[in-house]
A = this chain, B = another copy of it.
Amino acid sequence: MLHRVASRLQGRALLSSSAARVFSSLPAEVEEAFSNAASSPAPFSHTPAGRNHLYVPGPVNIHESVLRAMHVPGQNHRDPWFADFYKKCLSDLKMIFGTTDGTTIIFPGTGTGGWESALTNTLSPGDKVVTFRYGLFSHLWIDMMQRLGLDVTVIEGRWGDGAYEDKLAEVLKADADKKIKAVCVVHNETTTGVTSDIPEVRKTMDSFNHPALLLVDGVSSIGALDFQFDQWRVDVAVTGSQKALSIPTGLAMVCASDKALAAMKTATSRRVYYDFADMLRTNPSGNVPYTPILPLLYGMEQSLALMREEGGMAAVAARHHRLAEGCRAAVEGWGLQTLCREPRWKSDSLTVIEVPQGVDSQKVVDVAYAKYNLSLGIGLADVKGKVFRIGHLGNMDELMLSSALCGAEMALLDAGVALTPGSGVARAIDYWRKTSRVIPTRETLLQ
């Protein structure tokens, strides 16, 4: 690479007088500087001034203090400090699940791995489970259940709807022998912007005194939305680090009830990597069965600390609701509608917006990226081309989201959607102005 640098420089006669040392090697950061330094005007700008405006529903924008916390050049998890630290990680994590009774477990992996752990640790091949399909992620979880040999009853739903409690009631009612071992629900369907009503699901199960386990995918809800593991008597809940926790992908976080842990003892699904048992054996003494991802744990701790400082999960969920309400007001202002029609199911994690017929939503996403360096979520699978998605979960505030609304509005116009410029963002900021609270400790500024 220095060859290239040297010849480039020589073209500019920079090096003529320093022959002897011209090939002395450069430290990395200097070489980087050299290598970025094309002397002729580049025909493109791959890193525009400003920033990449990231508003997909995960991965999300990492808080600068979290980014700092993860910047560590290497540590040994067998040094004596680790045990207390790891026990604290597991304990701190309980807040976002809304649990004191549950057992938290952290796997190096993704939400998909969390799903696998939930199923294989509690169920055996051939076991009956019932679940819903109303989006790509619920579909993929069903696919996993089937590949793991479970006997899956799928309640099909409109993409844009949530878990139908009445249809679940029918299924449970028909299960007189209580053969169904688990009810599996995707809490927040990231494809459609729908938050199902887990308390109602629980109530439905209870109305039949059904002993099935309640397994919940909380990948894009836990840490953002209200979640009450203990109160709702969830048995296994799953989330991933790159969503509401706002750190990079790589941690699958799971919370298991005592009932789930009991089920583990008879569940014959083969499992090793995602086996709870190895974790349960080692975690209480602050150990792990295989190498943990330390930087992500540091990031997780800082992210949880920020949530505590914000006032805990109630305050975090309230912020998500406020952000989402502003976003939904903007959608109304545009004269568009969300894919989710039912108010009680509208997600506070992300908003999925239908484009008018005749418009390809991919074009909205493409123009947003091409002209405004804005990353929006595309329409996936059944709703491909029909919707685009704005993520507003995790590390997010009003002014960030106002950027996304401005960009989406411009992109919609560019894509041919007839809108009055400003019609959406005006509604959002009007709502936010009236509802945003003063940042605690800054009250004195306004007195």
Contacts and interface: CB of A to CB of B under 8 A. Distances in A.
Given A25-B440, A377-B78, A426-B425, A398 B372 contact: yes
A356 interface: no
Interface stretch (A165-173, A198-206, A207-215, A304-312): A304-312
Given A25-B440, A110-B108, A47 B306 contact: yes
A154 B256 CA distance: 35
Contacts of A275: 147
A37 interface: yes
A247 B93 CA distance: 25
Contacts of A257: none
A359 interface: no
A361 interface: no
A45 interface: yes
Interface in A397-419: 397-400, 402-404, 406-407, 409-410, 413-414
Contact of A443 (B65, B270, B370): B370
Interface stretch (A28-36, A176-184, A230-238): A28-36
B441 A429 contact: no
Interface string A8-41: 0100101101101111111111111111111101
A302 B375 contact: no
Nearest to A397: B50
Contacts of A240: 291
A128 interface: no
Nearest to A79: B375
Nearest to A15: B84
13 contacts: A2-B42, A22-B444, A44-B309, A47-B65, A48-B310, A48-B439, A50-B395, A68-B71, A144-B272, A147-B275, A366-B445, A370-B445, A410-B436
